[in-house]
Amino acid sequence: MYDMIIIGGGPAGLSAAVAAQGRGKQVLVISNPAEGNPLSKAPVIHNYLGLPGRSGRQMMEEFTKHALDMGAELRTGRVLTAMNMGDSFFLTVGSDVYEGKKLIFAGGISRGTKYPGEEGLVGHGVSYCATCDGMLYRKRPVVVIGRAKDAPLEANYLAQIGCQVTYVSPAAPVGLDAAIPSVKAGRLEIAGEGGSVTAVVADGAKIPCEGVFILRETVAPNDLLPELELEDGYIKVNRSMETNIPGVYAAGDCTGKPLQISKAVGEGLIAAQAAAEAIEAANNG
Ligand SMILES: Cc1cc2nc3c(=O)[nH]c(=O)nc-3n(C[C@H](O)[C@H](O)[C@H](O)COP(=O)(O)OP(=O)(O)OC[C@H]3O[C@@H](n4cnc5c(N)ncnc54)[C@H](O)[C@@H]3O)c2cc1C
């Protein structure tokens, strides 16, 4: 079991990793590939103290190297589910499961807006995790909405276990099994009846189904942990970066403005220190 699992390998998560390792804690950072991080897209950063003029990609490389040099483990992948066990957390990445005593959410801001109908049907046909929920839909029609690079592979997996898959995405998918029908559509809606999913409406055309797997690059924090308290769309934290869920901390853009590297780095440090203190207090008492 890790002392801390950090979701997000941007400035906040990597800063948290450096601080935690510095306090002798064993850390796993799970993140989407660094190339997709928003900072990697910044041509030049002028306002980071002492290091003006670097590109975002360069900063990401240096931040990542620092965390790895401190001994943090880095797992590339998307966290699809988080389970709160009371005194630890189980996180899934594909079919792998990781356990940590404390959880630091540093996943940045989720840029995808929800589809009409999605919110009310989560758990009633809407799923974000093919590995977790796929078996529920064996021999039944499902739609995979592919908004992440690995979505075609998840769709292939669903087809392999016997789901009747239709793939919907705004662009032609790469790596999708040729036997899976694919629909190109941009305007989507999730339709339901009696509290369950009945169809995906893609550019006005109905695709009947019983399950919808919505696979985005990022997962909104309150989709991972539904009881997480938000304020104006951001995770609500106190000055120790504690959320309303004991053992869960948040840092960086996900906690609110200003959406800046310095603030993310500072909050990552505070979250890791607070989590480390909580672990030490539990060990001593
Ligand atoms: C074009 C551009 C230019 C910018 N210029 C500046 C600037 O000049 N100065 C400045 O201070 N700031 C700038 N910023 C803002 C800065 O990049 C952010 O404030 C900073 O990256 C926030 O860090 P973070 O660690 O909170 O989140 P992020 O950097 O967003 O990192 C979060 C990471 O977590 C990953 N993630 C989310 N959910 C999951 C999940 N479920 N599983 C696995 N991984 C997940 C995300 O994919 C992402 O890689 C700029 C941003 C952009 C886009």
**Tens digit of pLDDT at every position of the chain (285 positions):** 999 999 999 999 999 999 999 999 999 999 998 888 889 888 899 999 999 999 999 999 999 999 999 999 999 999 988 999 999 999 999 889 999 999 999 999 876 788 999 988 988 999 888 887 899 999 999 999 999 888 999 999 999 999 999 999 999 999 999 999 999 998 999 999 999 999 999 999 999 999 999 998 877 888 899 899 999 889 999 999 999 999 999 999 999 999 999 999 999 999 999 999 999 999 987
Candidates 268, 253, 242, 248; CA nearest to 18 is 268
**Which of 156, 183, 216 is the last residue in one of the domains?**
216
Provide the whole-model pTM: 0.86
In this structure, the answer to whether residues 135 and 40 fall within a common structural domain is no
**Which of 216, 234, 267 is the last residue in one of the domains?**
216
Q: What are phi and psi of 166, to 5 degrees?
A: -120, 135
The distance from CA 239 to its chain's CA centroid, rounded to whole angstroms, is 23
182's enclosing H/E stretch is: strand 182-184
Q: Which domain holds residue 274?
A: 2-111+219-284
Compute the C-alpha angle 158/159/162, nearest 5°. Answer: 90
Give one word for 117, left, alpha or beta, with left for phi > 0 and alpha for psi -120 to 50.
left
In this structure, the answer to whether residues 161 and 139 fall within a common structural domain is yes
Going by CA atoms, what residue is nearest to atom 12 of ligand 1?
Answer: 260
What three-state secondary structure class fits 271?
helix
**Which of 167, 195, 216 is the last residue in one of the domains?**
216
In this structure, the answer to whether residues 26 and 145 fall within a common structural domain is no
> Domains in the chain: how many in total?
2
In this structure, the answer to whether residues 8 and 147 fall within a common structural domain is no
In this structure, the answer to whether residues 105 and 237 fall within a common structural domain is yes
Contact between residue 17 and residue 72 where contact means Cβ atoms under 8 Å apart: yes
82's enclosing H/E stretch is: strand 79-84
In this structure, the answer to whether residues 91 and 231 fall within a common structural domain is yes
The answer, yes or no, to whether any atom of ligand 1 lies below 6 A from the CB of 28, is no
Q: Ligand 1 atom closest to Cα of 8? A: 34
The answer, yes or no, to whether any atom of ligand 1 lies below 6 A from the CB of 47, is yes
**CATH number, residue 20:** 3.50.50.60
